[in-house]
Structure 1
Amino acid sequence: MAERLTKAATRNIFYGGSAFFLVIFVGLTVQTHLYMNSTSAPVSAMTEGVVRGKHVWERNSCINCHTLLGEGAYFAPELGNVWKRYGGHDDPEKARAVFASWMASQPSGVPGRRQMPQLSAC
């Protein structure tokens, strides 16, 4: 008895496998959509500062260099914890002064280094 894979069996495996993985893909897409809608904050819950920050982030394409909560490029520092790193919880005025002086020193003019956009007018 020859144990060969016939042309019909091969075709059935291909179509059956394709249908199976298509169903898995659609199911995972639906599950992801439902999960994202249930865990993200509604627009009405966003403060004015969050909306302005999102606008600045998108307008200046900050994600091309920075990460925010692990998402983005790894060229420049993570921005999700900047306020905490610079002592914003302990002394907000000092943290704002540090940010303002750091942004005023940009661009640094170092050769071969990408330049930060001027965000003072944001």
Structure 2
Amino acid sequence: MSEVLTKSTARNIFYGGSLFFFVIFVGLTAQSRHYILTKGTDEAHLTDSVVRGKRIWESHACFDCHTIYGEGARFAPELGDVMKRWGVEKDPAGARETFKSWMKAQPTGIPGRRQMPQFNLSDAQLDDLGNFLDWAGRANLQGWPPRPSKTN
């Protein structure tokens, strides 16, 4: 019994396989889009101030040095959760004031350390940037970017 793959059979396998994987691709794309829009974005807190803060982030090219969600230059610290690290959940006003004071104090002039430039942002711009960073920290990143564990 000879098994021969005819042109007709090969064509049917090609078209059937192509259709199968195209349907899988469309299904995964739809599932990803649904997840991002329903669980991945904190749309409830997406305000005009957050949008202005993102524009400040982009116009001053903060991503040239910092990362957010693991994207950026990796030259300076990750800022996706900076407001959480400064305690925005326990003391929102204190965390925002700490952020504003730190930004106004740049460059610090600490020897042996690379310096962040002074952008001379107004208080309103600093509030917007802080609101953007706070909003960015609310995203459900499912553990991304990975952080080294602290073991001592």
TM-score by length of 2: 0.54
Residue in structure 2 matched with residue 71 of structure 1 by the alignment: 70
In structure 1, C-alpha distance between the alignment counterparts of 2:98 and 2:60, rounded to whole Å: 25
In structure 1, C-alpha distance between the alignment counterparts of 2:6 and 2:117, rounded to whole Å: 63
Number of aligned residues: 114
Alignment-mate amino acid for residue 76 of structure 1: A
**Shift, 1:49, TM fit:** 4.1
* Structure 2 residues not aligned, in runs of 5+: 126-152
C-alpha RMSD of matched pairs (Å): 3.4
- What SS does the aligned partner of 2:105 have? helix
Residue in structure 2 matched with residue 7 of structure 1 by the alignment: 7
**Shift, 1:4, TM fit:** 3.1
**Shift, 1:78, TM fit:** 0.1
In structure 1, C-alpha distance between the alignment counterparts of 2:6 and 2:33, rounded to whole Å: 40
- What SS does the aligned partner of 1:32 have? helix
* Structure 1 residues not aligned, in runs of 5+: none
Residue in structure 1 matched with residue 100 of structure 2 by the alignment: 96
Higher relative contact order (CA 8 A, sep 6+): 2
In structure 1, C-alpha distance between the alignment counterparts of 2:23 and 2:71, rounded to whole Å: 31
In structure 2, C-alpha distance between the alignment counterparts of 1:67 and 1:54, rounded to whole Å: 13
TM-score by length of 1: 0.64
**Shift, 1:7, TM fit:** 2.1
Quickly say closer, same or farther: Cα 1:118–1:16, change in 2 above 3 A.
farther
